[in-house]
Amino acid sequence: MYITTFYSFKGGVGRTMALVNVAVELANQGKRVLIVDFDLEAPGLDTFDLGRPDEPTPGVVDFVRDYLDTGRAPDASNYLFKSSGSVDNGGRLWVMPSGSQDRGYAAKLGSIDWNDLYEHHDGYLLFEDLKLQWQAAIEPDYVLLDSRTGYTDVGGICTRHLPDAVVALFFPNDQNLRGLTKVVGDIRSEGQGPRKKHIDLHFVLSNVPDLDDEDETLDQKIGEFRAGLSFDREPLFIHRYQSLSLLKQVIFTRKRPKSRLARQYREVMDEVVRYNAGDRDGALDFIDRLGVGGRRPPPGVAARLARSGRLPLREHGDQVTHRLVQIAKLHSDDGEVLFRLGQLRASEGDFDKSMELFDSAIDAGYRHADAYLERAEQKRLWLEDLDAASEDALTALQAPGVSKPQIRRALRMLKQEALSQVPGSVKELAGEEQERRLASAPPRSPGLDLIAIGRFSEALDHYRATEPNVHHMSIEVAFNYGMALWAETGQPDPGPFNRVLEAHASGATDANANYSQCLAIAHWAGGDTPAAQQALDDAAEQIRTASASFSCWRYLNVPRPVFLQDLTEMRQLIKGDTSVRPRFMR
């Protein structure tokens, strides 16, 4: 059960309309939703078409008044009703109104002293009991509270005591900024209070005119709110919508789902769901926005941070790290969630945690090819356990529904002796690539592939046949020829690497991490240690803006953390540690 309050300091921003539309859309997404009208002085939930019963239903005010009269918490199920409105996909919607809207409502409300309720009648425990009753009676996934405006005692119950999250809707003017600054400060103070309760805050600019902003007035106001309220992410927008349907209180996500207004309500819903660690869809979306793209995981560690706008996990702060721990705990039996968490950790170079998560995902029943391939990649790159990596790659090939890209990826990690165990159906799918591997013939880049699999003399023969004169080799051929010669003889020959430096000096430059890495080796082989160290510094800087790179230290495409590890080992070599050798030679 995830409790979210919809709050606005001032009225007129469509708070209740937003809550109802979000609630209906959540129910249409298959969620069990309870909405509670805590706007006791100006209740409005009962005016929407939510399938209310013919007879008035008692609600929040009646619940509290009956408690004060009897000294016992009443049965909460008597103070709410199930919506009879149309809801798709198996969701359910319940409503707890403010109270029976009869002649005695105002008197009941006026008879309740909310401060006295908390100070002398265990009001805190009453509402904690109410939460437990909600859970026992209807097991809601989401409870949405409609809070009254301004500074009120009831507002404190809605914004600090009950919720896990608060959606703060506001029109961007000075009055709202002044009022929200105090309310938001109070909400955040709960994290440092006795309960140590973190409440997620979602900021929504509402009823904003959709007009040209030639003078950048709106941008200026958003900047003031961002500074005053300390936004940690961009606010959402609900633009002013010119439609007479608003007078009829049409629920747009139900009646006009393709409208812009319905789309913006869904964006608010998505934001709330994303920060609910207990919601599987929200957890997957949260992980996706931190660094793993798409509902289906992308192939390979290298592509994980390729999309723009995603920050490395370490730059998101402790709260995000804590949320990821929550997700892992709450979804400990969900293999896909654990697998996606493993991908995220792997993209950050956290080998121990990513391996633990991949193991847990597979143990939880996530036996997809990608799970075994990701684990194989970790074993190959970090453990350098080629036998274990090959075993996982073979298991991936036997997984149901294995695709051609997955087959190609698995084949690159299979040891030669494991090829005979590849299922015949997979061989047919792989086609020519499988035939090349079975024939032990190097595929598209012969020289690089021969070096990568340790056939150095054949690589040398290939390069000599391609460009026989070392002094006239292209920069790429000269470098790879020099690396193959070093691997074959055990000693770096300055000749090919000097040719690399000559070509570089003549303008054969390419500002990327791999190029700078290769240049560092060439300078070192030529005896210029300062230039080699500078080239390594350049490579380290360039890899920070890339998700992956080819590494000449391994002759493999590797993710950024592995590339940085290779640079660290290269620094030891350049500083004079003769025991260090490139990994592809080991």
Give the closest residue to 42 by CA, choosing from 8, 77, 76, 85. Answer: 8
| Cβ(522)–Cβ(549) below 8 Å | no
431: Cα separation from own chain's centroid: 36
Q: Is a pLDDT exceeding 80 seen at residue 266?
A: yes
Cα–Cα distances (Å) from 130 to 4, 76, 345, 561, in that order, read 15, 7, 39, 49
In angstroms, the CA 460 to CA 65 distance is: 90
Instruction: Write out pLDDT tens, residues 438-487.
Output: 444 444 467 887 888 788 999 999 999 888 888 889 999 999 999 999 99
Among the residues of 139-204, which ranges form H helices? Answer: 153-156, 174-189
Please report where in the chains the tokens 């690589």 appear, as a residue: 459
pLDDT, one tens digit per residue, over 289-331 is 886 443 333 333 333 333 223 344 444 566 788 888 899 999 9
Classify residue 82 as left (phi > 0), alpha (psi -120 to 50) or beta.
beta
Polymer length in residues for the chain: 586
Structural contact between residues 296 and 288, judged by C-beta atoms closer than 8 angstroms: no
What is the tens place of the pLDDT at every residue in 23-64? Answer: 999 998 899 999 999 888 888 887 887 877 777 789 999 999
CA pair distance 485, 489, nearest whole angstrom: 6
pLDDT of 509 strictly over 70: no
Written as six digits, the tokens of 453 are: 């699999």
Q: What pLDDT is attached to residue 418?
A: 72
What would the pLDDT profile of 525-543 be if each residue is shown by its tens digit? Answer: 999 999 999 999 999 999 9
pTM beyond cutoff 0.75: no
